Structure 1
Amino acid sequence: MRSTTLARRAAAVAAGLFGLLALGAAPAAAQPATVDGTVTPQIAHGTPAPDGAYPFSVKFTMTGIPQPDGGTYDSACSGALVAPRWVVTAGHCFHDVNRNPVSGPPQYGSTTATVGRTDLSDEGGHVLDVVDVQQSPDTDIALAKLSAPVRDIRPLRLNRTAPVAGDPLRLVGWGATTADGAPETHLQMGDFTVTSVDEHDVYVSGAAPSTDTSACPYDSGAPYFAETAHGPRLVGVESTGPDCPHTGPETTSRVDTVAGWILRQIR
């Protein structure tokens, strides 16, 4: 999770918001996920999503994440439903005690996915356990399998063509809105523009409401999608970037290059 409005990469590092029990010690604070020690964010200088919008958006809540010293902490990530039982997110959101991304059942005390809510106080939607994780072999993307299928929400479709500079994208996430803030309880959104593309990543910059609209801690795994005539299509997944808010590029993992792998897993 990151330190700006949309949470970024989700390996755990800095002290955060939720209390955790360290083994045999005092409660440890929740921590945002990071990659290589870089804290990742939620959407800074974004706006609250309208009630009921983007039901495919997912908030992960992780508790009891192990640390090398024997303690534990809590954290959070964002994601998007791409099949009834599968959510796409950042690979670094699911890791071992040494923060290496791993497949298999989450190595945490518990991990739940909240799907189909714009605000955590809503009574609709679903709260389901994550029972399995599959890591992409090529990029910072993972698929989290839910304990039961979600049948009443249309999954986000995958983009199958390479994005190009100038393409407009929208980001929705459950991260903080400042670099040192807690995860939001209401879904946030912001608009971005593709600035460049390489083999594995799409680089984006804030466009609206501000040029420094950016992902923050706990936004790791949040979807960047294009609005099309046939509905939204997932283009990138929040990975990492500078402290939020910031201007200039944010790193997101390309979806089109791993779309074949994603479809094989969810089938």
Structure 2
Amino acid sequence: MRNQNVFNRRPRTAWVTGLLAAAVAVGTVTAASPAQALEGGGIKNAAYTFAAKLDIGGGKRSCSGALVDKQWVLTAASCFADDPDKGLKVSDGAPKWKTTATVGRTNLTKPTGSVTDVVELVPYKGRDLVMAKLAKPVAGVTPVAIGTAAPKQGEELKVAGFGRTKSTWVPDRLGGSSFMVDAVQDGSVSVSPKAAADGAVCKGDTGGPALRETAGRVELVGVNSTSWQGGCLGTDPSETRKGAVDTRVDDLSTWIQKVSYRAVFPKAPWDKATHIASGYFTGGSAGGTRHMDMIVRWIDSEVTLYQGGDDKDPSHPFIAEYQLGKPLKQAPKTNWQYVKEMTAAGFGDGTDGLVVRWVDSEMTQYTHVDAKGFHNERKLVAPVKKGPWTHAKQMTAGRYTANAQRDDLVVVWDDGRVTLHPDLNANGLADKAKKTLVKKNTTWPFATQIAAGEFTGKKTADLLVRWVDGESTIYPGVDAAGLHGEIKIRPKKSPWINATVVTAGAFVANERPNDVMVRWQDGSLGLYPGVDAAGTHGEVKLTG
């Protein structure tokens, strides 16, 4: 029996359009063009206001979709393909045909919601799926959450769309019906109506949402793709099959989040970024899929955490941001205005934290940092007006000893010394274990930035140095015995003379070699993927 709290009026016999010739159960779906129908019927549930109706080409095609971000609708790529029968290829960028999205209007006769142009398409390669960017954010509508659990055989899903019905070519309301999961494949899920009297899948519903409802929570797990269209108006009356295939999205939550976020990241005031530290703060790890995160301290003392993605797209390495420290105008008593140096470090508990050296030479350790803030604060060095740490110039943390669980601290001093402080742990620095890697000299005072990284495949981490004249050097496999040769990756007077902040990390993939992030004097941000002993291999502009 239908849930009358969700679906009103009679059982609907048509929901999702079949745009492609594709195998469903046995045989093939009859190829069909996108429908002319622009409306649907039946749903009262206010939680479904995220549903979207797409008008493509001024009535040329009609599809459905779901708002997954204030400015993004998730729908089927076949809605925009030149010939869905021959393939799903859709190019990144503006849609070929003028497209408008109606969102927040489950009853199309009402003036609620908004009608907005679609200005950009981002397809997911290999699936009937595309993200459609709206010209402006939708106000007053809560985007649907993306489910992260795979559908299971026998599970009930609610399928919705604005397509035609058994008897109506152009319905005026969003419709929905109950479907059962018949089979789960990689990237798709086969479904059929829960009851014989329930609706099938019709033209105009392509791209509409397949939803999981649990304890009042609605999650998007699939997008309508193909159907036999049994019982749909305009279908051969002899066709009685109502099965359909939906494109799965439960395993693409990070991709959806990244696409939604990628236009936001470049808009940050990167000319105001003063310090950057990279590490696994939000759950990523060297053996997992989530890449490194990045913490940025801005000139107004705000601190932001950028969460790493889980694919290998160097153009968009981050998927979300979190404010860890407020700017001075909001928090006049914040300590973050006094940062001198900071570096990410692992202290042996499986997560990364932060070591901060302040302008008064105090050093603080935050054993754990995540999207909620800084945790387990410990003082490593007391503030002093005079003393050894007033002469520290640069510092970075990396895996420089045999202890793979805890990082070590490398420090460059103003007299040219380079020291190693092994095994950072919950109790901080072990000063008695300090090793001098380089004695006093006249070269190292010209090191303007240093960063730990994994570039050469040695047993211990490498040290990247950017010198004042723009030359940049990798010291491979630094350990307690010292430096073991050097590799020049950028010559003197190279463009790197204009680098103001440099950090290294696994931003593109959790594997060697690491990548290098550079903030330039002009305020732009660039990423050098896979820096190794052969040098840098091209810059990917992240901003500007």
TM, length-normalised to structure 2: 0.39
> Structure 1 residues 133 and 266 mapped into 2: Cα distance closer, same or farther (>3 Å)?
same
Q: Which residue of 2 aligns with 1:6?
A: 15
Matched ranges for 1:1-267 at <5 A: 5-10=14-19, 37-39=31-33, 48-50=42-44, 52=46, 54-63=48-57, 74-96=60-82, 100-102=88-90, 103-108=92-97, 110-178=98-166, 182-208=169-195, 210-229=196-215, 231-245=217-231, 246-247=240-241, 249-267=243-261
Instruction: Give the distance between the partners of 1:244 and 1:211, measured in 2 at CA.
Output: 12
Partner letter of residue 104 of structure 1?
A: G
Instruction: Give the distance between the partners of 1:248 and 1:7, measured in 2 at CA.
Output: 10
Instruction: Give the distance between the partners of 1:36 and 1:89, measured in 2 at CA.
Output: 21
> Structure 1 residues 266 and 36 mapped into 2: Cα distance closer, same or farther (>3 Å)?
farther
Partner letter of residue 138 of structure 1?
A: G
1:119-150 alpha-carbon deviations (Å, 9 max, x no partner): 21101110000000111113111110000001
Partner letter of residue 187 of structure 1?
A: L
SS of the equivalent of 1:117 reads: coil
Instruction: Give the distance between the partners of 2:35 and 2:191, measured in 1 at CA.
Output: 14
> Structure 1 residues 36 and 249 mapped into 2: Cα distance closer, same or farther (>3 Å)?
closer
SS of the equivalent of 1:220 reads: coil
Range with greater deviation from structure 2 (247-256 or 155-164):
247-256
1:263 deviates by 1.5
1:101 deviates by 3.0
Instruction: Give the distance between the partners of 1:132 and 1:266, measured in 2 at CA.
Output: 12
1:10 deviates by 4.7
> Structure 1 residues 127 and 133 mapped into 2: Cα distance closer, same or farther (>3 Å)?
same
- Contact 2:121–2:130 (8 Å) recurs in 1: yes
Range with greater deviation from structure 2 (229-238 or 93-102):
93-102
1:50 deviates by 1.7
Instruction: Give the distance between the partners of 1:166 and 1:99, measured in 2 at CA.
Output: 30
Partner letter of residue 235 of structure 1?
A: V
- Contact 2:77–2:88 (8 Å) recurs in 1: no
1:40 deviates by 6.3
Instruction: Give the distance between the partners of 1:182 and 1:224, measured in 2 at CA.
Output: 22
- Contact 2:61–2:79 (8 Å) recurs in 1: no
SS of the equivalent of 1:169 reads: strand
Instruction: Give the distance between the partners of 2:17 and 2:242, measured in 1 at CA.
Output: 15
1:34-87 alpha-carbon deviations (Å, 9 max, x no partner): x98345679xxx9711274510010001125xxxxxxxx611000000000000
1:61-116 alpha-carbon deviations (Å, 9 max, x no partner): 1125xxxxxxxx611000000000000101101123787531321101x2100000
- Contact 1:47–1:190 (8 Å) recurs in 2: no
- Contact 2:212–2:220 (8 Å) recurs in 1: yes
- Contact 1:95–1:107 (8 Å) recurs in 2: no
Q: Which has the higher contact order (CA 8 A, sep 6+)?
A: 1
Range with greater deviation from structure 2 (183-192 or 50-59):
50-59
1:162 deviates by 1.3
Q: Percent identity?
A: 35
1:184 deviates by 2.0
Partner letter of residue 151 of structure 1?
A: A
SS of the equivalent of 1:263 reads: helix
Q: Which residue of 2 aligns with 1:67?
A: none
Q: Which runs of 5+ in 1 are unaligned?
A: 12-34, 65-72
Instruction: Give the distance between the partners of 1:227 and 1:239, measured in 2 at CA.
Output: 20
SS of the equivalent of 1:120 reads: coil
SS of the equivalent of 2:173 reads: coil
Aligned pair count reads 228
SS of the equivalent of 1:54 reads: helix
> Structure 1 residues 153 and 195 mapped into 2: Cα distance closer, same or farther (>3 Å)?
same
- Contact 2:192–2:244 (8 Å) recurs in 1: yes
1:243 deviates by 2.3
Partner letter of residue 49 of structure 1?
A: I
1:189-235 alpha-carbon deviations (Å, 9 max, x no partner): 11111111011111111015x45521100110010101123610001
> Structure 1 residues 40 and 111 mapped into 2: Cα distance closer, same or farther (>3 Å)?
closer
Range with greater deviation from structure 2 (255-264 or 217-226):
255-264
Instruction: Give the distance between the partners of 1:57 and 1:137, measured in 2 at CA.
Output: 23
